[in-house]
Structure 1
Amino acid sequence: MDNFFSLGRWMPGLVVLLGYQRAWLLPDIRAGVSVAAVALPVAIAYAELAGVGAVVGLYSCILPMIAYALFGSSRQLIVGPDAATCAVIAAVVTPLAAGDASRHWQLVMTMTAMTGFWCLVASRFKLGVLADFLSRPILMGLLNGVAITIIVGQLSSIFGFTFAETGLIERVLAVPDYVSLVHVPTLGIGLLTLTVMLLCRRFRPQLPSSLLGLAVAATLLWFMGPQRLEVAVVGTLSGGIPRLQIPEFPPGLIRELVLPALNLAMVSFVSMMLTARSFAAKNGYDIDADKEFRALGFANLASALSQGFAISGADSRTAVNDANGGKSQLVSIVAALVIAVVTFFLTSPLQYIPTAALGVVLVMASLSLTDFRGLWALRHSDNAAFWLAWITFASVLFMGVIPGITLAVLLGLFQFLRNVMRPTDQLMGMNGEGVVHTLGHNEEVKAITGVLIYRFNSPLTYFNAAYFKRRVLQLLTGEAHPPKCLIIDAVSCFTHQDISVMSMVGELHKELKRRGIHMVMAGRRGQMTHWLKQAGIRVGEEGILVYPDLYQALRMTRADREPPPAAESRDPVEAPEVASAVFRQQESS
């Protein structure tokens, strides 16, 4: 039994497969074949985006899908090549490879392995909370910027010319200079592929439009001959079983790749979790973020060992899985086997796929990443989120993908620190029924004469302790009639012991005592008493009074006389009333 629970912690997908239900088999097979039909053309297209051979995209699907099926906790999520991850890889590796295709491929595998390593480290230290680190607005700005970067980059493939410029803005400004270089047959192939895809989505949305578009374009070139039309194609694929190998880790390259790999791990995980959580909620189960981090790590290591590139959660393929009724992780295994059969035995037809058609597939996939309407709508709901999203979007366009991702991570960090260092706070009052509420939201809630109740909505630590003290003194100074007692809601802010915080409390107590104001802590009575005494701060009649909750503190504190010591704060007759009041306080919060 212990071994089973240990297996469940490490391989939740395998546990689901061991308890497999026969009724799931046909829906899983149908969903697996459908996922493979969508994944095949996308994998080839993303391989071109990453700057490696088309077969590498297929390698990046097989073992990673199987690895996730065993280690992942989501029953619907499909992992595989992703537009954002491939754009990041290309941006990092291309300058380091300096035009050497073999070195480029090796660097891609090395970066993929390092990404997997970072994911495993994050899982080991239970950093699944990072799924909430990059806020949704920041991720929206990032993905929109990456999508525009990919679309502009694919114009050369669709129109048949090669950009001499490397930056996005420079490429956009140079587009008029390339009009005369447009290759009409290449553009025609691209338009044919686009037409087939759009017609398929309009009249037969259940069919894989990307696969049909590539099939029509490849068939036309096979019939007419790519040399005759002078149209670039994928070319001969080696196929076969990839030779497992350990990526190289020269020290110089590790220094160059360590931070980009960390950024890639972060973005891949956050993007994957958004997809996994949405489909888990739809199908009525929960997923474990730390286990998902581990599964993503093993999937990336499997991709690197099989000569593939970094992968992430694929929202479009996950949607196909869910739409076809997939029930378990067996869908990933079925899809991986179908792709493996094509990769090992049926690569010959793939050589006629035109790069212009792949460019159209990438453009259409990138358009699904864009959500400018959602970005603009943020201005009504959250002005700060609106500016964060657009700053991230602009940084990707003007600075590049890697600096844009770095800035997005820093923005997420700064946003978190700002919320912790300068949180919201409230003054509390009481309504006619004796229930404590926030002042200002309800006209029936009135301040208590001679008493100031303060709530600080963040854990107190060394970097916001001075702000806490400053806010308390500002509020006391702003009162028309200086209160005789300050009650601090300790539940919301005193979450852990911090010597800097205790030092600040001692200083604040001395200042309040000098002003003739009693300082009272409400909540966490045992912990607060222990922490205050350890810090050398007197507790009781001559020091800080500590009560179990706000209601006890209010009953035992009188504005017209000195409060009794904390040791006398319990009144057994009023205990049921206290419990009822506490329940009402929690309910009203």
Structure 2
Amino acid sequence: MRDFLQQMTARFSVLRGVLPLNGVAAARDALAGVQLASMDIPQVLGYARIAGMPAVTGLYTVFLPLVAFAFFGASRHLVVAADSATATIFASRLATMAPASSAEYAALAAMVALLTAALLLVARIFKLGFLADFLSRTVLVGFLAGVGVQVGIAMLGDMFGVTGHATRSIDQLLLVVREAAHINVPTFAISALVVVVILVCKRLWPRLPVPLIAVVAGIAASDLLDFAAHGISVLGPVEGGLPPLRIPLVTWQQMLDLVPVAASCFVMIVAQSAAASRVFAERYHEPVDTNADLLGIAAANAAAAFSGAFVVNGSLTQTAMADRAGTRSQFGQLVFAAVVVAVLLFFSRFLQYLPHCILASIVFTIAVGLVDLRGLFAIRGESPGEFALAVFTAAAVVLIGVEHGILVAVAVSLLRHVRHSYRPHTMVLAPGDDGLWVPVPAVPGIETAPGLIVYRFGADLFYANDHFFVDDARRLIDRAPSAMRWFVVDASAITDLDYSAARSVGELCAALKQNGIEVIFARVNRYLRSDMDRHGITPIVESRCIFSTLHEALLAAGVEQPHERVKGAP
């Protein structure tokens, strides 16, 4: 049987996250799956609250979606379930289209999951897993911090027992402040107790399932003491049984309105899932197949859409919880799904007594965990500029919303990359104190030797930075202490040359040659040489002035024994 399953896995690329699996590993993962369920069930109930969906739909996200990813995904560790980031993304938009927890709202949420599944399937077909690289880790830290702040603010109303809800974080905060005089004291006391206990136990006894204990204790206390009669809001009747399978029905216009929401969820899923799967694959020295994971998450979201749930994501926090519980394959997640089935069939009726404030408090502690202060301070210590980008992204999420904040995060990541390529570091070899040539920042007034400048441009040449290359070269030559005879371009960092840059570089080389200055290209790789040939730069500088090493280029410029004079020369 085991051989048959392995053959099926190899042939159809399924169950890669489960197999190979022996009896000992299955027992270990089964026990870990039960422990994971005890920790994660309260969290997914809280995520349903963030999403504006009925609490039971949080359980739906860890049933069929978990099974679908285990079947089609490749990661042995990634937990695909409800997630606070994606829940906040679509909830912020759906709240303006339908009342939370209504049938129309649930249909819209299911359609977002279906559209997200379609985008993920397209990404898998065209092998777009590389898109995860366009959301930098720095900006992702800032984005998650912003989500944490926004989710934390959204939970304050339930934690304080304040009625009313605002869609924007600032408005919600102002609402809580205005209603401060009407805080329900018992609700606030329970909330404060739950938050303190969870945070303290998380530090002292991280493996203790405190959220589950809080849920069970809250249900028991609510039933015995009749919390609802004392003004403490509770969930109310929760539909039991397995999720009904149905196709989400929305209007054509509503579906078009949901496409940007699904696109935002798609970007978040690709970035966060890839990061989570890579972290744990590297920890256990396992291969990473991002494209296969995209297929698995697409299947999981399709399962969520047809089972009355909402968007699911590869959660870094829940994957870390699974790892701490001891799971080493998706078999542990399948056992988790089996535990959820038991809860849906036999224990869902007890959920009606669960106070909203306990769920909100659990979610609040989750939100606190999303704000990675240690990571932010580490970024600040190493790169103040990147820290500013992370803070800007967090502020954008809080002030303008998660849906637009994720787009800002992607734009900021790309702009930062373009900025570095637009004005790259440039260097000139100059005599050092020990007589050897050392690279120094390229500022006018320095030269490598009388009549010689060795200039290094630190990026590919393209239409946005070609003028910087030309202007920098002209300034160095015009302000050199002696008349220039050779201008050597160290092209080790240049692998690409587009049409616009080729025109500018060709015109510069032609002008310098007319002024009696020989232009020599050193460390030219095969790709750059091909571009130079195609764009007509080679005939201008002549093939005799294009070299694959700096040593040959300096010899062509008449410099004797460059290896002894140039520190670090090849």
- The TM-score, its normalising length taken from structure 1, stands at 0.86
1:271-292 CA distance string (max 9 Å, x none) = 2333332222222224233333
User: Is the CA contact (8 Å cut-off) linking 1:119 and 1:294 kept in structure 2?
Assistant: yes
Equivalent AA in structure 2 for residue 38 of structure 1? M
1:74-132 superposed Cα distances (whole Å, 9 cap, x missing partner): 32221211111111121011101256811111111111222222223333333333333
1:163 maps onto 2:164 in alignment: yes
Matching residue's letter, 1:92: R
Map of 2:119 onto structure 1: 118
Report the Cα distance in structure 2 between the residues aligned to 1:367 and 1:525, rounded to whole angstroms.
49
**What does 1:373-388 correspond to in 2, within 5 Å?**
373-388=374-389
Contact 1:244 1:306 survives alignment (8 Å): yes
Letter in 1 for 2:547: Y
Residue 143 to residue 473, structure 1, CA distance change in 2 (3 Å): same
Amino acid at match of 1:506: G
1:143 matched residue in structure 2: 144
How far did residue 7 of structure 1 move? 5.7
2:556 is matched with 556
Residue identity matched to 1:474 = R
Whether the aligned pair in 1 keeps the contact of 2:68 and 2:303 (CA below 8 Å) is yes
Contact 1:10 1:71 in 2 (8 A): no
Q: Which residue of 2 aligns with 1:518?
A: 518
Find the aligned partners of 1:126 and 1:438 in 2 and give their Cα distance.
Answer: 41
Q: Call closer, same or farther: CA 1:214–1:556 in 2, change over 3 Å.
A: same
Distance change (3 Å), C-alpha of 1:523 and 1:377: closer
- The residue type paired with residue 412 of structure 1 is S
**Contact 2:18–2:76 (CA under 8 A) maintained in structure 1:** no
Structure 1 unaligned blocks of 5 or more? 561-573
Q: CA deviation at 1:214?
A: 0.7
One-letter code aligned to 1:210: P
User: Who is 2:398 aligned against?
Assistant: 397
Contact 1:426–1:438, Cα closer than 8 Å, also in 2: yes
Partner in structure 2 of residue 86 of structure 1? 87
Quote the Cα distance in structure 2 between the aligned partners of 1:370 and 1:435.
49
Shift of 1:544: 7.0
CA distance in 2, matches of 1:397, 1:110: 25
Decide whether the 8 Å contact of 1:450 with 1:559 is kept in 2.
no
1:145, 1:105 → 2: CA distance?
26
Deviations 1:413-435 (A, max 9, x none): 21122122222222235889999
- Could you give the per-residue CA deviations for residues 437-456 of structure 1, whole angstroms, max 9, x where no partner exists? 53369xxx993443222222
User: Where does residue 502 of structure 2 map in the other structure?
Assistant: 502
Aligned residue for 2:163, secondary structure, equals coil
Letter in 2 for 1:315: L
Query: Which moved further from structure 2: 186-195 or 387-396?
Result: 186-195
Asked if residue 355 in structure 1 is aligned to residue 383 in structure 2, the reply is no
What is the rounded CA distance, in whole Å, between the counterparts of 2:275 and 2:79 in structure 1? 13
Q: Which amino acid aligns with 2:516?
A: G
- Measured after TM superposition, the shift of residue 554 of structure 1 is 1.4
Q: 1:201 and 1:533 mapped to 2: Cα distance?
A: 62
Query: Which stretch of structure 1 is more off in the superposition, 405-414 or 171-180?
Result: 171-180
Whole-Å separation in 2 of the counterparts to 1:4 and 1:479: 69
Whole-angstrom CA distance in 2 between matches of 1:38 and 1:316 = 12
Report matched runs for 1:461-480 at 5 Å.
461-480=462-481
CA distance in 1, matches of 2:35, 2:272: 22
Q: RMSD in angstroms over aligned alpha carbons? A: 3.4
Structure 1 range deviating more: 446-455 or 90-99: 446-455
Deviation at 1:355, TM superposition (A): 0.8
Q: Is the 8 A contact 1:436 1:585 kept in 2?
A: no
The 1:291–1:433 alpha-carbon spacing in structure 2 relative to 1, beyond 3 Å, is farther
Q: Which moves more between the two structures, 381-390 or 486-495?
A: 486-495
Letter in 2 for 1:220: A
Provide the secondary structure at the position in 1 that maps to 2:332: helix
The answer (yes or no) to whether the contact 2:17–2:77 under 8 Å persists in 1 is no
CA contact (8 A) 2:17 2:75 kept: no
Q: How does 1:183-582 map to 2 (within 5 A)?
A: 183-194=184-195, 197=198, 200-201=201-202, 204-248=205-249, 250-428=251-429, 438-439=439-440, 447-495=448-496, 498-524=498-524, 530-537=530-537, 539=539, 545-558=545-558
Take 2:541 and 2:282, find their aligned partners in 1: how far apart are those partners? 53
Name stretches of at least 5 consecutive residues in structure 2 with no aligned partner: none
After TM superposition, give the deviation of residue 243 of structure 1 in Å: 2.5
Amino-acid identity (%): 29
Query: For the Cα contact (< 8 Å) 1:14–1:69, is it kept in 2?
Result: yes
CA 1:493 to 1:260, structure 2 compared with 1: closer, same or farther past 3 Å?
same
Which amino acid counterpart does residue 239 of structure 1 have in structure 2?
G
After TM superposition, give the deviation of residue 513 of structure 1 in Å: 1.1
Shift of 1:359: 0.6
| Equivalent position SS for 1:328 | coil
Shift of 1:373: 4.8
Change (3 A) 1:405 1:14: same
Q: Given the superposition, is the C-alpha separation of residues 202 and 522 from structure 1 closer, same or farther in structure 2, using an over 3 Å criterion?
A: closer
**Do 1:427 and 1:454's aligned partners in 2 also have CA atoms closer than 8 Å?**
yes
Matching residue of 1:564:
none
Deviates more, 1:528-537 or 1:129-138: 528-537
1:180-238 per-residue CA deviation (whole Å, 9 max, x = no partner) reads: 32223333443453465356546654221100001001001112234433432222222
When structure 1 is superposed on structure 2, of 428-437 and 89-98 the one drifting more is 428-437
Q: Partners of 2:544 and 2:8 in 1: how far apart?
A: 48
Of 202-211 and 100-109, deviating more is 202-211
**CA shift for structure 1 position 338:** 1.2
SS of the residue corresponding to residue 547 of structure 1 reads coil
